[in-house]
Amino acid sequence: MTAVTAATGRTTVDELARRATTEPPPRPKARAGPLEWILVHIAFLVVVAFFLVPFLWLLSAAFDAKASAYIQFPVEPTIMNFVKIFTEHDFARVLANSVFVAVATMILVVFTVSLAGYSLSRLDLRRKDWITYAVLLLQTMPISATMVPIYGLARQLGLRNSYLGLILIHAAIELPFLIWLMKGFFDSIPRHLEEAAWLDGRSKFRALIEIVLPLARPGLGIAAGLAFLSAWAEVLMVIILIDQDNLKTVPLAFYEAMRTQGGYTEVQYGVIAAMAVIYLLPVMVVFFAARRLMVRGLMSSTRGL
Amino acid sequence: MAVAARGRLGRNRLYLAGLSPAAFLLALFFVGPALWAIGSSFTNRALVGLDAANPRFVGLDNYARLFSDPDFGRVILNSVIFVIGSAIIGQFVLGLLLALLLDYAQRRGFLATSLVYAAVLLAWVNPTIIAGFLWVAMFDFYNGSLNAGLHVVGAPPVNWLGQGPMLAVIIANTWRGTAFTMLIFLGALRTIPSDIYEAARVDGASAFRRFWDHTLPILRPIAALTLLSVTMATFGTFILIQTLTNGGPAFQTEVIALYAFHEAFQNHAVGYGSTISVVMLALNLAFAVVFLRWSRARA
Amino acid sequence: MDEVVRQIITRRRFLQLSAVSAVAVACSPSAVSSPSSAGSAPAGSSPAGGSGGAPSGGAVTGTINVSYPDEAGLKPKYVEQAAAAVKAQFPGADVKIDLQKVGDDDFYTKLLLALDSGTGPDVFHVGGSSIGELADASYVEPLDNYVSQWADWSQYPDSVRTGVTYKGSVWAIPYGLDMRWLYYRKDDLQKAGLAADWQPANVQGILDAATAVKNANETNVIPYALYAGPAGSSGTADHAFVPLLWAYGGELQDSSGKWIGDSPATKKVMAYYQKAYNGLSPKEILTSTKPWTAMREKLGNGQLALLFEGGWVYGGWASANKAATEQNVGYVLHPTENGGPSFTVGGPGTCWYISSRSTNKQGAWEFIKAMNTAEIVGKLNAEDPHPVARTDAADIPEFKSDPYLVASTAALAKAKFTAPDPGYSKVIEAIQKATARVAAGELGPDDAAKRYTDDLTQALGADKVTSQ
C-alpha cells in the first residue's frame, strides 16, 4: 500500500498498475503435467521463433563479411563491419547526432509535458474536456500532410539543418500522446496534498516540484522513455529538415542507405546490419530498464477519459 | 466564496500559463501545418511545372478528382483490409492470446515466460526503419530467410512481396505492433489475484467458466480503447509498407497514407496530396470521435 | 509565448518586405546591367526570352553554390577540378560544392522543395527531361544571353541544342547524351543454343531468346528484365514502354500534341508485357526500391540474360572487369515489330542548370563553363560512357580509342527522342500504373490499354488525351 492509498483509502490506477507489474509469487502447487508442459513450450517456441528470427538474421549478418539476405552461419566471420561503419561511413558522427538529439528531446519533452499535464489536470474550466479531446485528436493528423508545410516553416524560421530544429520538431510530435498520459498520472494524485502545501505557505511551483512530481515519477519515467525512443526512431521529419552530412541522424542514414544502395552495387547487408545492431543497443537498454514502468504507463493511459 | 472564486481564477491563469510551452509547440508544428495542409487541398499547388509558378485556388476540384479516381477506391479497400488484418485480427487478437498464454504460464511457474515476453517486446521497441530492413531481408525472393527455410524443407520459394504483398505487410506490421496490446492485456490480467482462480477451480468451475466469469470482465473496459489505439496507429503506418513494397506491385498495398505521400513527394502534386491527407484526417477523426463516444457511453 | 509569436510575425514580415524590395531593385534599370548585384531576379520571370542579367564578363565574386547527386563516384573529381578553375580565374569567388550521395529521384524532390520555398543552390544538375516543367515553374534561368556569348557553343550540334530548347529558349547545358542498348549475355544465350552474335529478328525475337534461356534452365539466370510499375521510375517509360511503343509503330503524341492512350500499338505493347511477365521477367521489379540497381548488376555478372538499359551502364561493368565484359556482354539496337535492331531511345542526359533564384548568376555561369570544357566533357563521358554533347570532346584520345564509345556515338544517329514536354512526367506516371497492372496480372492487355487512357486523363485532363 502506498502512502497515497493509505491516505485516501482509494486504490489509484497507479497502485493497480504497480500491482499489475509485480509478478505474482509462484504458487506452490502441483507441477504442471507433462502434456501441459509440452503444449505450452511448443507455443512458446512458435512465438519466440516468430518474433526473434529476424533479429537472429541481423546478428548473423552483422558479423559476416559476406552477409546476404538469408540467415546463415557467418560465411566469413568478422568484426570488420563494425570497424568499417566508423572508418568508412562516418557512423560515429551520425550516432552522436542521434544521441544528442534524442537526449535533448527527452529533456525538453519531460519538462513541457509534465508542466502541461499537471496544468491540464488541475485546470478548472467547464470546457476542460474539450481541450483534452483536442490534444488527443491532434494525433490523428497524418504526418505526410504536414511534411511540406513544416519544410517551409522550418526554412523561414531558420530551423533547417540545425539541432534546434530537430529537437523542437521531434519534441512537438510526441506531445499529444504524452500530455494525455501525464494528465492521467496527475489526475490520480489527489489535490489535497499540494493544497496542504499551499496552506503551509509554499508557492505553487515549489509544491509542484517537491510534493507532486516525486509521486508522478513513474509517469515521468515513462514519458522520458517514450520520448527518447520516438526521437531515436524518427525519420520523416529528419528527411525534411536535414541535408547536410554532418547533421544526419541514424534513421536518415539508414533510409538513405536502403534507397541508395551504393550506385551500381547492391545493398551491403553486412554493413547496414552492423549499423542496425549498434543503433538498437540504446533501445534495448532503455527498454529493459523501464519495462515495468512502461506497462504501468500503458495501463494508465488506456484507463479512459 | 468570492475569495475562493478569485483564487480559482488566479490558479487557472497559472495553469494556462503552464500549458503555454506545449501549446506553443503544438500550435507551431501541428496546428499551423495542419491548417496549411487543409488550405492547400483546395489549390492545385505543385512542386514543379506551371502549377508551381501559379498555384490557383481550385475549390473542390481536387476532391472531385479524388472521389472519381478509380484507384482511390482501391486505396481505401487496401487500407481497410490492412487495418482489419493487421490491427484487429493481428495485433489485437494475437496480443490478447499472447497475454492469456503468458499470464497462464506465469501463474503455473513456467520460467521461460520472461524470454517470450522479452522477444515480443523487442519487436516493438526497435525503430520502424530497422523493422522494415529486417523484413525486407526476410521476404527477399532469392536470398530471404523465409524462402531459405522453405528450401530446407524442400518447398518451392514463395514470392512474398510479388504475389502476396498484402499478407506480407500484414505479417510484418503485426510482428511489429503486437506487443502493445499484449502489454495492456497482460497488465490487466495480472491484477487478478490467483486466489480467485484457485477458489473457482475448487468450486468446480471449468476453465471456460473461470475465463468468462473472472477474466473477461477485467478485460472488457480496456479492450475498447486498446482497439481504438491500435486501429488508429495502424491506419497511419506507412514507412513499413513503403520499405517493403512501396505500394505493392500494381497498387496492391497502396494504403491511404502512402498514397498521400506518393502524390506529394513522388508525383510532386502537393495540393492533391494534401487533399488525400485531409480525407485521411477526416476518416481518423470520425472514427476516433465515434469510438470515444461509444466507449464513454458504455463506461 | 506572445512575445515569440510576435517576433515570428515580425520576422516573416521582414522577409516579405525584403523580397518585395529585392524585386523592386532588380526591376530597376541599374540592376539589369550589373548582374553581380545583390538583388535577385524577379521570381515570376516569363520563360520566353532572356530576362536574366546579361553577362558582362566582369569579375565574379561571392559564393557559388553547386549541388548535384552522385552515386557512382565518377563526377566529383571533375566538379572539383572545375571549381578550382573558377577560383583560380576569379580570386574573389568561392565555390561551395554540395555533393548528395542519393538517387536522382530523391535529389530532385529535395531540390524542388528548396526551390519551392525560395532557396536552393545557384547551379544544379538534373535530367534534361525536366526542362519543360522546371521552366514552366520559373525555377530556372534562360541561358540564351549566356550561350550567345560563349564561343564553345558552336561545338554543340543543332540536334543537341534542340534537345535543351523549350518555348524558344535554351535552359540547360548538356554534356553526356543518353542512348540505350539492348544488352544480352553472350554466354547465357549460347548456353541456351543461340548464336554468339545473336540479333533479334524482330521484337518477338527478344521474348523468344528469353524463353530459350528459361528453358535451358541455367541456374540463377533470369531470362529477361522488363521494367514496369512505379518502382522502375522513369526507366519504366524510357527503357521499356516507350521503345516498345515505337517498335510497334505507335507514338506518344499525335500531331496536335495530344497524348495517345489506347491504340493498336499500345495494345500490342501490353500484350508484350503480359508475355514477358509470364515467367520471363521477375516480379520483384514491381516491389523493389530501385530495381534497376539489381538488374544492372545481374547483367554484369551473368545472372540476367537480356536487358534494355542505358548506354552508361556498360561503363560500370567495364570498370569492374573490362575483359569479361567485352567478352560476354553484347549490345544491339532495339528491333521493331517486323525488323531487326534499328533504333534507340535518345535523351539530353543530365544537364547543368542555373537557378532563377540565384543571387550569383554570373558566377554560376562561370562554373558551368568551367565544367563543360572539351577536356572535362570528353574525359567524364569516357569514364561514364555517354556520347558527348559537344563534338570536339570526342576528339580526345580516350574517346576515340574506345570502340564502345565510338559505337554509342554512332548509334545516336539512329536515336529517336521524346519531346521536351512538361506533361511528360505525368505521362510517365500513367505508364507506370498501366504497365504495373499488366505485369502483376491484374488486367489483360486490351483492358490495360483502355485503363491507360483513363490514367492519362486523370493525370492531364481530358482535353490533352486521345485514343486511337
Task: For chain B, give every domain's residue range.
Answer: 69-298
- Dihedrals phi, psi of A157, to nearest 5 degrees: -90, 0
Give me the DSSP letters along C291-307: HHHHHHHHHHTTSEEEE
- In A, which residues are within 8 Å of B33 by CB distance? 145-146, 149-150, 153
Report the sign of the C-alpha dihedral through residues C289, C293, C297, C303, in that order: positive
Query: Mind listing the domains of chain C with CATH numbers?
Result: 50-171+348-417 (3.40.190.10), 180-345+420-466 (3.40.190.10)
- Amino acid at residue number C392: D
pLDDT tens for each residue of chain B, 299 residues long: 445 555 777 788 888 888 899 999 999 998 899 899 999 999 988 888 888 888 888 889 899 989 988 889 999 999 999 999 999 999 999 999 999 899 888 888 888 888 888 888 888 888 888 888 889 888 887 777 888 888 888 888 888 887 888 999 999 999 999 988 888 888 788 778 878 888 887 887 777 777 777 788 878 777 877 888 788 888 888 888 988 888 878 888 999 999 999 888 888 888 999 999 999 888 888 888 887 787 676 65
Q: Which of C133, C287, C435 to probe the B interface (max B CBs under 10 A)? A: C287
Cell of B43: 489549390
Residue C32 has pLDDT above 50, yes or no: no
Q: What is the pLDDT of residues A185-236, one digit of tens each?
A: 888 888 888 888 888 877 777 777 877 888 888 788 888 888 998 899 898 8
Bridge partners (DSSP) of residue B277 are none
Asked if A100 has any chain C CB less than 8 Å from its own CB, the reply is no
Asked if B137's CB is within 8 angstroms of A57's CB, the reply is yes
Asked if B252's CB is within 8 angstroms of C433's CB, the reply is no
Cell of C161: 541544342
Cβ-nearest to C113 among A151, A260, A261? A151
Q: Of the given ranges (A90-94, A106-110, B92-96), which has the lowest mean pLDDT? A: A90-94
Q: Which chains touch B (3 or more CB pairs under 8 A)?
A: A, C
Quickly state the pLDDT bin for C13 (edges 50, 70, 90). Answer: very low
What are the b/e assignments for C2-30, b being 16+ CB within 10 Å? Answer: eeeeeeeeeeeeeeeeeeeebbeebeeee
Interface ipTM > 0.90: no
**Domain B69-298 adopts which CATH fold?**
MetI-like fold (1.10.3720)
Asked if B162's CB is within 8 angstroms of C284's CB, the reply is yes
Which of B:245-264 have CB within 8 Å of A?
A: 257, 260-261, 264
Average pLDDT over residues A259-284: 72
Burial-class residue C210 by CB neighbours within 10 Å (0-12, 13-18, 19+): buried
Query: Mind listing the domains of chain A with CATH numbers?
Result: 33-78 (no CATH), 83-301 (1.10.3720.10)
E strands present in A17-152: none
Q: What is the pLDDT of residues A19-52, one digit of tens each?
A: 566 655 555 455 567 888 888 899 999 999 999 9
Quickly state the pLDDT bin for C76 (edges 50, 70, 90). Answer: very high
Pairs across A and B, CB distance < 8 A: 289
Instruction: Report the residue of chain B nearest C434, measured CA to CA.
Output: B250
Of the two residues C262 and A124, the one the predictor is more confident about is: C262
Give the per-residue pLDDT at C10.
36
Instruction: Report the residue of chain C nearest B140, measured CA to CA.
Output: C284
Quickly state the pLDDT bin for C417 (edges 50, 70, 90). Answer: confident
C90 by DSSP, 3-state: which? coil
A81 by DSSP, 3-state: which? helix
Mean residue pLDDT across chain C:
84
Asked if B21 has any chain A CB less than 8 Å from its own CB, the reply is yes
Give me the DSSP letters along C385-425: T--BSSGGGGGSHHHHT-HHHHHHHHHGGGEEE----TTHH
Give the per-residue pLDDT at A275.
86
Cβ-nearest to C283 among B23, B162, B243? B162
DSSP 8-state code for residue C55: P
Give the per-residue pLDDT at A210.
78
Asked if A261's CB is within 8 angstroms of C290's CB, the reply is yes
Nearest chain B Cα distance for residue A186, angstroms: 13
Q: How far apart are CA C311 and CA C331, in angstroms?
A: 9
Which of these, B124, B17, C361, C31, lies nearest to A229 by C-alpha position? B124
Nearest chain A Cα distance for residue C295, angstroms: 10
Q: How far apart are CA B256 and CA B254, in angstroms?
A: 7
Q: Considering chain A, what percentage of its residues have pLDDT values greater than 70? A: 78
Give the per-residue pLDDT at C136.
92
Asked if A156's CB is within 8 angstroms of C316's CB, the reply is no
Average pLDDT over residues C245-270: 93
Of the two residues B298 and C247, the one the predictor is more confident about is: C247
Cβ-nearest to C293 among A148, A152, A264? A264
Which of B:39-78 have CB within 8 Å of C?
A: 46-53, 65, 69-71
- In A, which residues are within 8 Å of B143 by CB distance? 68-70
Give the per-residue pLDDT at A267.
60
Asked if B244 has any chain C CB less than 8 Å from its own CB, the reply is yes
A77 by DSSP, 3-state: which? strand
Average pLDDT over residues C359-387: 92
Asked if B163 has any chain C CB less than 8 Å from its own CB, the reply is yes
- In B, which residues are within 8 Å of A32 by CB distance? 108-110
Residue C436 has pLDDT above 50, yes or no: yes
Asked if A47's CB is within 8 angstroms of B98's CB, the reply is yes
Give the per-residue pLDDT at C65.
94
Asked if A140's CB is within 8 angstroms of B285's CB, the reply is yes
Asked if B142 has any chain A CB less than 8 Å from its own CB, the reply is yes
Q: Which chains touch C (3 or more CB pairs under 8 A)?
A: A, B
Q: Of the given ranges (A268-277, B161-170, C144-153), which has the lowest mean pLDDT? A: A268-277
Which value, in Å, is the radius of gyration of the alpha carbons in chain A? 24
